[in-house]
Amino acid sequence: MSEPPAGDRRTPVVTLPLIVAGVCLALPFGAMLWVGSYARLTPEFIGIPFFYWYQMLWVLISTALTTVAYVLVRRNERARKAGEGR
């Protein structure tokens, strides 16, 4: 692979928005991997056992958290490019 020109190298920068985005993406994994927290039948919601509706609720929560992470990363990229003068 060819190396980028010396003046075009970018150092990775970890900022607070990127950390928050990472946490937003990691939360659903942690919630689903902790099976002991939802491996039960009660409380039921409209006749659906807790085990099922809890997982379906996390589908919606995961969608919202992924959207938040996407927005944060995009804003961070735009701010970084604006700061570079591009």
Per residue in 15-54, pLDDT tens?
888 999 999 999 999 988 988 888 888 898 899 998 999 9
The rounded mean pLDDT for the chain is 85
- The answer to whether residue 7 scores a pLDDT higher than 60 is no
The secondary structure element, H or E, covering residue 76 is helix 50-84
pLDDT at 22: 93
- Torsional sign, CA 45, 47, 50, 51: negative
